[in-house]
Chain A
Amino acid sequence: MNAATTPTPLRMTDVTLTYPDGRGRLTALDRVSLRAEAGSVTAVVGPSGSGKSSLLAVAATLVTPDSGSVEVAGEETAGRGAAALTRLRRSRVGIVFQQPHLLASLTAREQLQVMADLEGRSPRSAKGRAEELLAAVGLEGEAHRRPHQLSGGQRQRVNIARALMNDPDLLLVDEPTSALDRGRGATVVELLTGLTHRRAVATLLVTHDREQLAAVDRVVEVHDGRLRSPQPSGRRQGTS
């Protein structure tokens, strides 16, 4: 693919988001500008209430900012209707939820096949890709299991595989290790990093767990809705 013509998976420019707060408004994001590049994991860290989740919600097109520009896969989201944003999110964005949020009635493979169904493709034809992705996250032979038959770590892997099912440009990951012990958490972050590099997806990882940052490519900090300058991390190659 020609890098010159490939759109940036996520470009946020001067994004401001406020919420009603009593008689006034609380600023959740204050003129935030951020880019996420293909093949790179960007970790967003910060204390509780700093605006990390708001940043993720805006990037996921689930919340419309008060001002500023949000481009997903080169497409400006401002002014788009709910249906258009849903289509964009379905085809270009993958979301890894904090809790796996798997549907109780579906097997691990069906959790992925439903993504094809959402796109109007035959779930049956997506069976092969679903099994390939489950294998990629280390769940070979577990495709037929339902959520209650999987461990917490396995459910989180299904959550990750599901997010990749529609081949997104942008992967948004919300505190993926919060429900896991340190060892499993590290494994999940390693897995995400590896998948990001291999599949050339841009990953925005929101986490409060600074011990996991060694595996990511870039770190940005959020404080009171503002982005701070990136800090060095163990294996970072540089920042932009």
Chain B
Amino acid sequence: MFVALRDLRFAKGRFALMGTVTVLIAALVGLLSGLTSGLAHQNTSAVTGLRADRIAFGATDEDRSYTDSTVSAEQWRQWARAPGVEAAEPLGIAAAKARADGGTASVSAFGTEPGAGILPEGSALAASEVVLSEAAAEELGAGTGERVTLGGAEFTVTAVTGDDWFSHTPVVWTTLDDWQGLAQGAGEGPHATVVALTTDGADTAAADERIGTDTVERDDSLSAIGAYTSENGSLQLMRGFLFAISALVVGAFFTVWTIQRRPDVAVLKALGASTRYLLKDALGQALVLLVAGTAVGTGIAAAVGAAVAGTVPFVLTAGSLLAPSGVLVVLGALGAVLAVRRITSVDPLIALGSAR
């Protein structure tokens, strides 16, 4: 790194330009990653937070969907009796309008049995009672003991807990009976939307066949949430393009830089520099630039994310910021490797001028 570090200092302008590009890409990737995680959280956290490992949907010819799925009481009971099933909780999901003295909000009403294991930890429900997620409580301006109206019926808030979201709306937990009243009004309707299962060696395929359901692992069920797949897919695609652009830009810069350095590389080779020495020097230089640029860019993304976290769905965690930073550095280094391998083809004879 003796020459590489001095080149970095000497060619400040060129490296500052490239460093700035790296900073901007890293900041953009960081912001996009935080936003992707934030949007995903607001779409799925109520499902990913369920204390269950599988979800049984009502089997239909259509694509699996939380919106369209229905399960009957009989289906639920059959799942509860199935071998290898430790717990089977009916779960109803419906969009609803909530109102309280402090405001109104669009919410997702989650209905289940009173005392079910999938209720937020430490909370219990009885008829005409609700548990509000923190976001729902904030939007409604309601706290424990206060009254809220949900789909025209009045409920008492027994607890405010958890950060559950579903399909970009905060979750309000009710009893299954109350949920059925919300979801189907006065008519006859579904018992629940899905059955949340805790299994231990259950043959779910055989059970599905027998019961008439369609069971998937909990995390695989996220694709059944409204526009989650297309929304998340679009953002991931953008992030993927940024990763590719980063690798290409870094590769292009170091290709030009390596071509410009050919005479110096020829001299160093003639003086006795091994190919390993030269590659280590050049890649070390690329890594210094990449790591420094990515660190600054990620820092900017973290600062901006922290500033907007209250108004924009932005998740600021080590996973949402450091993992994409690591990918940026690795892909950038890969681009640099492809660029600086040209060093191996430099002929030291160039340094001697004409050899004939």
Contact = CB atoms under 8 A, between A and B. Distances in A.
Interface of A: 19, 26, 28, 49, 51, 53-54, 56-57, 60, 62-63, 83, 86-87, 89-91, 93, 95, 97-99, 101, 103-106, 110, 113-115, 117-119, 123, 146, 162, 166, 174
A115 B3 contact: no
A221 B201 CA distance: 91
Given A86-B272, A90-B271, A118-B273, A101 B351 contact: yes
A105 B7 contact: yes
Contacts of A106: 3, 6
B10 to A, nearest CB: 3
B206 interface: no
A62 B352 contact: yes
A194 to B, nearest CB: 23
Contacts of A174: 352-353
20 contacts: A19-B356, A51-B356, A53-B353, A53-B355, A56-B352, A62-B348, A63-B349, A83-B274, A86-B269, A89-B270, A89-B272, A95-B352, A104-B264, A105-B7, A105-B11, A115-B272, A118-B273, A123-B2, A146-B10, A174-B353
Nearest to A57: B355
B354 A53 contact: yes
Contacts of B11: 105
A28 B274 contact: no
B351 A114 contact: no
B352 A105 contact: no
B21 interface: no
Nearest to A53: B355
A78 to B, nearest CB: 18
B272 to A, nearest CB: 2
Contacts of A53: 352-356
B224 interface: no
A113 B269 CA distance: 16
A86 B273 CA distance: 7
Main SS of the interface on chain A? Answer: mixed
B241 interface: no
B10 A104 contact: yes
Interface in B313-356: 348-349, 351-356
Contact of A62 (B7, B273, B349): B349
Interface in B1-60: 2-3, 6-7, 9-11
Contacts of B2: 110, 113-114, 117, 123
B272 A87 contact: yes
Given A57-B349, A101-B263, A95 B356 contact: no
Contacts of B7: 105
A49 to B, nearest CB: 7
B272 A57 contact: no
A60 B271 contact: no
A89 to B, nearest CB: 5
A158 B274 CA distance: 22
A97 B351 contact: yes
A104 B9 CA distance: 11
A220 B116 CA distance: 101
A120 to B, nearest CB: 9
A90 B272 contact: yes
A98 B353 contact: yes
